[in-house]
Structure 1
Amino acid sequence: MNRRPVIGVTLDAEPAGGWSKLPWYALRQNYFASIIAAGGLPVALPHHPELAVEYLDVIDGLLVTGGAFDVDPALWGGGAPHPKVTLKPGRTDFELAATRAALNRDLPVLGICGGQQLLAVALGGTLIQHIPDEVPGALAHEQPNPRTEPGHQVAITPDTLLARIVGTQMMAVNSAHHQAVATPGLGAVVNAVAPDGVVEGIELPGHRFALGVQWHPEYAVDPRDPDILSAFVEAARR
């Protein structure tokens, strides 16, 4: 059992221009580094929904990453997109297909930031399209300070998988989102909340490991952040 669990990592995608004259994939190195540090073997997953099931045949866990884009509100009954919403349909189509297939197989899933919102939608949940318009007195969830620093704290819900992993009632987190989970989806529960009431984490009890956090634990802003990655990789080992 010394083999590193293979962790499939979803990529971001950009159109031609900037780094390349052709469409390109990209992802921060700390996503991969944090998985390696946790004992996993990360592999990148290109956006081909028709291959989602085949990817799952060769990976032991699925990490759905974040990015500067949003899940199409048409996929969760949210009506017309807010003017601040940015869509990447090819990416979302793949991530939804892979996440739903992983849940059906009881394969471990970790959703980070936008990946948490994607997990909620995969479970039939709903989202807040733009926090400043829907949450009175909201915090600055798109924090002005660097992402390597905390933006605010979150309260961890007792008796949840997340609480057992981090072993604390509060965590300091970075914050880089303008949307949030409104309802977590069928069977899912909220496991972390910001001081303004915004949902910061969800999980699916009864699943081997299905957890989402709104912050970015790959930055290790809080000393317990690496524990989240380690618990995910360990679940993929079994």
Structure 2
Amino acid sequence: MSAPTKRPTIGVTLDSEEPGGYSKFPWYAARQNYADAVVKAGGLPLFLPHEPDQVEEYLALIDGLVVTGGAFDIDPALFGAAEKHPTVKLKGRRTQFEWKITQRAIESDLPVLGICGGQQLLNVVLGGTLIQHIPDEVEAPLAHEQPNPRDEPGHSVTVEKGTLLHKITGAASLEVNSAHHQAAKAVGPGVRINATAEDGVIEGIEDPRHRFVLGVQWHPEFSISSGDEKIFRAFIEAAR
């Protein structure tokens, strides 16, 4: 009888909150469906606290990295912006940690999947910039902070032919959920846009110079479409 196939260990970044609500002291959090999606696709999730000095030790433990979303923004100074929009909310230690571990994972050619805010961080790490507030910079924008529940579609995206995302999903378009007020503005050198919304907002990026560096602006852990599950399966397969 053959031994069961070992599940690749997938580092999943946590969110952080100040005292209040769950605890009177600072606390970490993550939605359960991030872990569920990794397990369903064949991986073993390992949540990562924000310890920038321990990045190399974390990297020695994991086979792939998921950079999650959250209700906060990347410091505009990190992509060269002179001003910060009034809506921008920072979580400095989280960004410091995610920046460092994402950068080192890419340098080590570990598979990286950036989700929503994780895609935005990935885009900046790869040399791109961000739209700080979509309603102020995009003409006639879609409701990217959808009013309906997050486990339902908010709008569709067009998938670019010839991209890794197109190869994974086999779809020309996908129905996606949407929970963001920022998005990629310009992508870095060598980075490819793989999905866009009807209003022109960038919904997905990838770096073809690496075996798997993919960002999506929506939340595939909710499995809105079969394409979402295919994204996680392809990511886990790349981490084997």
Query: If the length of structure 1 is used for normalisation, what is the TM-score?
Result: 0.98
2:102 alignment partner in structure 1 = 99
**Alignment partners' CA distance in 2, 1:159 and 1:55:** 33
Q: Which of residues 7, 16, 20 is equivalent to 2:19?
A: 16
**Alignment partners' CA distance in 1, 2:185 and 2:217:** 12
Q: Does 1:220 align with 2:227?
A: no
What are the equivalent positions in structure 2 for 1:76-155 lying under 5 Å apart? 76-155=79-158
* AA of the residue aligned to 1:144: P
* Partner SS for 1:153: strand
* AA of the residue aligned to 1:41: L
1:201 alignment partner in structure 2 = 204
**Alignment partners' CA distance in 1, 2:201 and 2:82:** 21
Shift of 1:223: 1.9
**Alignment partners' CA distance in 1, 2:114 and 2:220:** 11
**Alignment partners' CA distance in 1, 2:188 and 2:225:** 27
* AA of the residue aligned to 2:70: G
Shift of 1:139: 0.4
1:40 alignment partner in structure 2 = 43
Q: Does 1:189 align with 2:192?
A: yes
Shift of 1:206: 2.2
**Alignment partners' CA distance in 2, 1:70 and 1:189:** 22
Q: Which of residues 24, 32, 37 is equivalent to 1:29?
A: 32
Shift of 1:217: 0.3
* Partner SS for 1:84: coil
Shift of 1:221: 0.8
**Alignment partners' CA distance in 2, 1:216 and 1:31:** 9
* Partner SS for 1:42: strand
Query: If the length of structure 2 is used for normalisation, what is the TM-score?
Result: 0.98
**Alignment partners' CA distance in 1, 2:233 and 2:208:** 19
Q: Aligned pairs, how many? A: 237
Shift of 1:184: 1.8
Larger CA deviation: 73-82 vs 196-205: 73-82
Shift of 1:81: 1.4
**Alignment partners' CA distance in 2, 1:134 and 1:116:** 19
Q: Which runs of 5+ in 2 are unaligned?
A: none
Q: Does 1:178 align with 2:181?
A: yes
Give the fraction of aligned pairs with identical amino acids, expressed as a percent: 62
* Partner SS for 1:201: strand
CA RMSD of aligned residues (A): 0.8
Shift of 1:186: 2.3
Shift of 1:54: 1.4
* Partner SS for 2:185: strand
**Alignment partners' CA distance in 2, 1:18 and 1:145:** 24
* Partner SS for 1:57: helix
* AA of the residue aligned to 2:14: L
**Cα deviation per residue 1:179-203 (whole Å; 9 max; x = unaligned)?**
0001121211100000000000000
**Cα deviation per residue 1:90-130 (whole Å; 9 max; x = unaligned)?**
00000000000000000000000000000001111000000
* AA of the residue aligned to 2:175: A
1:5 alignment partner in structure 2 = 8
* AA of the residue aligned to 1:221: I
